[in-house]
Structure 1
Amino acid sequence: MAWNHKKGAPAYGASLALGLLLTGCSGGGGGAGEQSDKKPSASSAPHGYIEGAQETAEQQSRLVLADGASGALKVLDLIDGKTRPLGKANGSRLVTDGRFAYAASDTGAHIFDSGAWMVDHGDHVHYYRATMREVGALRGNKPQHIYSSPSSTAVTFADGKARLLDHARMEKGDIGTTVTIEDADAGPVVPFKENVLVPTGGPGDETVVEVRDRKGNKKSALKAKCAQLRGAAVTRTGVVFGCADGALFVSEKNGEARGEKIPFGQSVPDGERPASFRHRSLGSTLTATAGDRGVWVLNVPEREWKLVETGPVTAVNSAGEGAPLLALKDTGVLEAYDVSSGKKIAGRKLVSRMPDAKEARPVIEVDAGRAYVNDVADKKIHEIDFNDDLREARSFSVDFAPSAMVETGR
């Protein structure tokens, strides 16, 4: 499907459509966004009710920004355009699961509740907002990977240990470890459905992905192997691990996890292999740099890799099927490519001065109709309408250098 860059849907039109779905499934008792002082009983609680949160009719997008110099974290609310303090952390590397932001450092991770998230029920979506706050600090030796499911978060450390955190406790402002996995030294541990996927060492350079329960007990091992496992991504339909010959896609059928290889279809040098993936929250179109050659795009539903020869890029991302591939070049130019043809379809100078290799690098965050780029040198956040020739819809000035950024409320 070719992307029509002249007729993309407006960003908030999609949110409104989903909001109408939300209102239609609210189960009575007040419109979306209303909040009663009286706690509903178990039998009278509206569909989607969450204690302590306000349900809203549209996505509550927020950007969590880190100031690498001071360690301060702030939240830019994309609804009202205001920036508010969130807390302080030693780490400037940020990861999010759509609600919680994890600031990683050599000694662990500080966890913050951004107060904005969504719950996907498959045929409709609920959006929520609540008070943002710091949850606490998780101590450990250099967190390498952080991945989440709706019920838990797995933090994998450099020493080969991983801790599984209970989301229900985090939602109440507390950090609780349900299990510590001692042999997580072959790749990122990823929660999946009611299980957890644990890469373990196999014969030669192969990695075996074990399926374990929430207590860390082994249930099975996937038959499909993943040589030199590197990087992972959580999509709406399953988990993707990067392999030397492509990817391993883990899905579930009849309650059983199963693995399926998605080969590159060509020989790929190690320097052009994906090291990590960037994508829209839970999206099934994954992007990754391919060394200096360009960008890999993995269409998970179609089980297809495509190499778009953009040349060297600093940051990449895509909103998914029908949307363009976005690539930020070292020159500060943001470019859009049609994935099906590989052709460049738009470009604009966005960042006046790109940081050098020793400084924090910009990233591209995407949602249904907008992309966000943190301009570290100019202390700005650029909001881009990628459906309209990369038009800059808004820009937000901040009083610090936003060295790291993640989007929540998705």
Structure 2
Amino acid sequence: MLVRSNVIPWVPAAIVAVSVFATSCAGQTDDASAPKSKASASAPHGYVEGAQEKAEQQSRLLLNDPGTGDTRVLDLITGEAQEVSRRTGTTGLTTDGRFGYFHTSGGMHVLDGGAWTVDHGDHVHYYRAAVRDVGRLPGGPGPRVRSDAAVTTVTDEDGRARIYRRADLEKGKVGSPRTLPGTQAGVVVPYAEHLLSLTDDGQDAARLTVYDREGKRVASPDAACQDPRGDSVTRRGVVLGCGDGALLVREADGTFTAQRIPYGEDVPEKERATAFRHRPGSDTLTAPAGDRAVWVLDVTERTWTRVKTGPVVSANTAGEGSVLIVLETDGSLHGYDITTGKQVSKTKPLLTGAPEAGTEGNTGPVIEVDRSRAYLNDPKGKRVYEIDYNDNLRVARTFDLDIEPALMVETGR
């Protein structure tokens, strides 16, 4: 693989100082997002068996060519692409920040991307390990996967939900799941050591239900959601998309509450937000608003902004004052000021051929955003672009590949 750059290749700046690594995790339970060894008490703080702790985020891109099944893991620190087992019949690719879920008609293949982050609130640990196959999660078409530090949920299109132990996946095996009772109207989202779901129960609108991790219903906040579609976990709580806007679900001292964030206008069905994209850790969400606009949901301010654009293929933003990045059908990235709606930057056409819009997990160009860079896959051109969104969408690096990366997700976050 060839890496082309118009600057010295970028390496993420270390954001964890020496004093941070010395900080104790006393008073906190072991984080299930990293398997703990049975090492003695002399093991260094944050030690994970089989993994190396690093001073910076170990970002990687998981890439798949659905036509051939060829799969690569692109290390964004070294710029090298690793060939892994082929994944044939792949119709979609999603991630929870560490594991890649390759969707097929007969279930999902799980790949441990070998890079992840453990956030303890006052300090962060970054880990790097070998890429490895985990196994297959059974299920029909269209399953949706969501995870937290302890569990991974898989919700089928028919509303059946299964709960897997995260620790099993981290040990390289799928394990035996528990099944959530009944059927769900939307995806099951792990949050605050519980499971959030929208259940039908024969009502006009789905009702918010809270389960414990064993599948027992423990709360039913007074909140309804018509036509639920789309969800996202933010530092402010869980956002659930609804026909009239969104619900923001929060937990405090064991009590769950839901606040409605309405559009503030009557939005036609084809222009509603149905799938959110954002930078992990950000409270600013994006979603297509029909063919020629993008919704930006500021979770902190509880406001929606509709930014008029050209024909939308994909959109994302780093939030917190950054531009809205929109891939349009001209093959260029366009940067928009979210507050004014004005276009403030634009690249030359980057994609080979005319791009087409897709949906969550489906093939096609997407924009992945982390704390410093954005990434755009060019399937027909067999390349991935690294974009400096803080410098007028400058192309910082170009990764030439030997496959068509029609499916792409970023891990290590």
**Same fold per TM (> 0.5)?**
yes
Range that drifts further, 17-26 or 348-357: 17-26
Structure 1 residues 255-270: aligned runs within 5 Å: 255-270=254-269
Shift of 1:356: 5.0
**Partners of 1:270 and 1:76 in 2: CA distance:** 38
SS of structure 1 residue aligned to 2:111: strand
Shift of 1:309: 0.8
**Partners of 2:109 and 2:182 in 1: CA distance:** 23
Q: Give 2:44's aligned residue.
A: 46
Shift of 1:42: 4.5
Are 2:366 and 1:366 equivalent residues in the alignment? Answer: no
One-letter code of the match for 1:319?
Answer: A
Identity of aligned residues (%): 47
One-letter code of the match for 1:297?
Answer: V
SS of structure 1 residue aligned to 2:14: helix
| Structure 2 CA distance for partners of 1:309 and 1:212, relative to 1, 3 Å | same
SS of structure 2 residue aligned to 1:143: coil
Q: Give 2:239's aligned residue.
A: 240
| Equivalent pair of 1:21/1:124 in contact (CA under 8 Å) | no
| Equivalent pair of 1:178/1:215 in contact (CA under 8 Å) | no
Q: Give 2:329's aligned residue.
A: 330
| Structure 2 CA distance for partners of 1:319 and 1:305, relative to 1, 3 Å | same
**Partners of 2:320 and 2:148 in 1: CA distance:** 23
**Partners of 2:326 and 2:70 in 1: CA distance:** 28
Structure 1 residues 69-108: aligned runs within 5 Å: 69-89=67-87, 90-108=89-107
Structure 1 residues 210-225: aligned runs within 5 Å: 210-225=209-224
**Partners of 2:17 and 2:398 in 1: CA distance:** 25
One-letter code of the match for 2:140?
Answer: N
Are 2:390 and 1:387 equivalent residues in the alignment? Answer: yes
**Partners of 1:165 and 1:263 in 2: CA distance:** 34
Q: Give 1:343's aligned residue.
A: 342
| Structure 2 CA distance for partners of 1:222 and 1:399, relative to 1, 3 Å | same
| Equivalent pair of 1:179/1:214 in contact (CA under 8 Å) | no
One-letter code of the match for 2:338?
Answer: V
| Equivalent pair of 1:248/1:262 in contact (CA under 8 Å) | yes
| Structure 2 CA distance for partners of 1:388 and 1:407, relative to 1, 3 Å | same
| Equivalent pair of 2:12/2:57 in contact (CA under 8 Å) | no
| Structure 2 CA distance for partners of 1:65 and 1:147, relative to 1, 3 Å | same
| Structure 1 residues not aligned, in runs of 5+ | 1-9, 28-38
SS of structure 1 residue aligned to 2:297: strand
Q: Deviations over 1:208-266 (max 9, x none)?
A: 12101112111111212111111111123321100111111111100222211111111
SS of structure 2 residue aligned to 1:212: strand
| Equivalent pair of 1:53/1:128 in contact (CA under 8 Å) | yes
Structure 1 residues 11-410: aligned runs within 5 Å: 15-18=13-16, 22-25=20-23, 41-89=39-87, 90-202=89-201, 204-349=203-348, 350-356=350-356, 360-410=363-413
Range that drifts further, 255-264 or 16-25: 16-25
**Partners of 1:281 and 1:345 in 2: CA distance:** 24
Range that drifts further, 12-21 or 203-212: 12-21
One-letter code of the match for 2:80?
Answer: K
Range that drifts further, 15-24 or 149-158: 15-24
**Partners of 1:40 and 1:230 in 2: CA distance:** 42
- For these two proteins, the number of residue pairs brought into alignment is 390
Q: Give 2:4's aligned residue.
A: none
SS of structure 2 residue aligned to 1:283: coil
| Structure 2 CA distance for partners of 1:69 and 1:13, relative to 1, 3 Å | closer
| Structure 2 CA distance for partners of 1:104 and 1:180, relative to 1, 3 Å | same
| Structure 2 CA distance for partners of 1:357 and 1:317, relative to 1, 3 Å | closer
SS of structure 1 residue aligned to 2:347: strand
| Equivalent pair of 2:285/2:297 in contact (CA under 8 Å) | yes
SS of structure 2 residue aligned to 1:122: coil
| Structure 2 CA distance for partners of 1:260 and 1:13, relative to 1, 3 Å | farther
**Partners of 1:80 and 1:22 in 2: CA distance:** 25
Q: Deviations over 1:23-65 (max 9, x none)?
A: 45379xxxxxxxxxxx784533332222221100011010000
**Partners of 1:293 and 1:104 in 2: CA distance:** 29
| Structure 2 CA distance for partners of 1:198 and 1:353, relative to 1, 3 Å | same
RMSD: 2.2
Q: Give 2:31's aligned residue.
A: none
One-letter code of the match for 2:353?
Answer: R
| Structure 2 CA distance for partners of 1:161 and 1:269, relative to 1, 3 Å | same
| Equivalent pair of 1:22/1:57 in contact (CA under 8 Å) | no
**Partners of 2:226 and 2:353 in 1: CA distance:** 39
| Equivalent pair of 1:11/1:369 in contact (CA under 8 Å) | no
| Structure 2 CA distance for partners of 1:242 and 1:47, relative to 1, 3 Å | same
Shift of 1:276: 0.5
Shift of 1:181: 2.0
SS of structure 1 residue aligned to 2:15: helix
| Equivalent pair of 2:15/2:55 in contact (CA under 8 Å) | no
**Partners of 1:184 and 1:135 in 2: CA distance:** 27
| Equivalent pair of 2:153/2:190 in contact (CA under 8 Å) | yes
Q: Deviations over 1:302-337 (max 9, x none)?
A: 111111111320001111212111000011010011
**Partners of 1:237 and 1:42 in 2: CA distance:** 37
| Structure 2 CA distance for partners of 1:333 and 1:397, relative to 1, 3 Å | same
